[in-house]
Amino acid sequence: MAGAFITFEGIDGSGKSTQLRMLASVLRLGGFETVVTREPGGTPLGKRLRTALLDAQAEVDPLAELLLYAADRAQHVRTLLRPALETSHIVLSDRYADATVAYQGAGRGFTPELIAEVVELATGGLKPDLTLIFDVSVAECLMRTKRREANDQSKDRLDGEDVDFYARVRDRYLEIAAAEPERVRVVDASGSVEETHTKVIEIVLPFLEARGIVGQPSEQNAPPTGTQPQKTPVN
């Protein structure tokens, strides 16, 4: 496939969604055909699954949860990701299969064998070309999440998980990175939004260049002088 599939991962409150938006705006200004999507919820069916999965009032059985993320992913791969990659787009996805390995595997305790089977079934073997794992301490992430909840009253089901759960998820993400250094890069996300953004750019632009993917800047999408990437609050 001529496109590039880049996924953003990390525990809740790591700031990955903010970084994804900032990278997308830089790529678009540079004339790269960029698609932004997420899991769960990248498709119309996925949006409905997302609402069900993240409902703070709902009790979702762990096996049902695993299969719902897989259903969301199967729909995402077949109706959005593959078509976009086949038409040479750069696809930025806020979470993908590594989230299942980390959250349902390490977090909920399903065996690596079962997780691998479910992931293979849902993805049909589609792997990201590059994965950025935004790494921050669990304490910092919990603080950021609490601040967000206080600001916009938003709370989803997983916001209720405890420190141990997130510590297991974070450790599994770091294990994934250690096992697949070619695909996965860990980004220290403990600094400011701008500092992390610089780190992302330093990884992604050389990666695209190495794959021979170049932007097509036009006058229309050239940034006015002095314009900075849009600042958005930490996710």
Residue numbers at the binding site for ligand TYD (CB under 6 A): 12, 17, 38-40, 69, 94-95, 99-100, 103-104, 156, 158, 235
> Looking at beta carbons only, is 34 or 100 nearer to ligand TYD?
100
φ and ψ of 117, to 5 deg: -65, -45
Smallest separation (angstroms) from ligand TYD to the CB of 136: 13
Smallest separation (angstroms) from ligand TYD to the CB of 165: 10
> Looking at beta carbons only, is 17 or 25 nearer to ligand TYD?
17
> Looking at beta carbons only, is 21 or 38 nearer to ligand TYD?
38
Cβ-closest position to ligand TYD: 103
Smallest separation (angstroms) from ligand TYD to the CB of 154: 7
> Looking at beta carbons only, is 144 or 197 nearer to ligand TYD?
144
3-class SS letters over the chain: CCCEEEEEECCCCCCHHHHHHHHHHHHHHCCCCEEEEECCCCCHHHHHHHHHHHCCCCCCCHHHHHHHHHHHHHHHHHHHHHHHHHCCCEEEEECCHHHHHHHHHHHCCCCHHHHHHHHHHHHCCCCCCEEEEEECCHHHHHHHHHHHHHHHCCCCHHHHCCHHHHHHHHHHHHHHHHHCCCCEEEEECCCCHHHHHHHHHHHHHHHHHHCCCCCCCCCCCCCCCCCCCCCCCCC
Smallest separation (angstroms) from ligand TYD to the CB of 192: 19
> Looking at beta carbons only, is 19 or 25 nearer to ligand TYD?
19
Smallest separation (angstroms) from ligand TYD to the CB of 210: 27
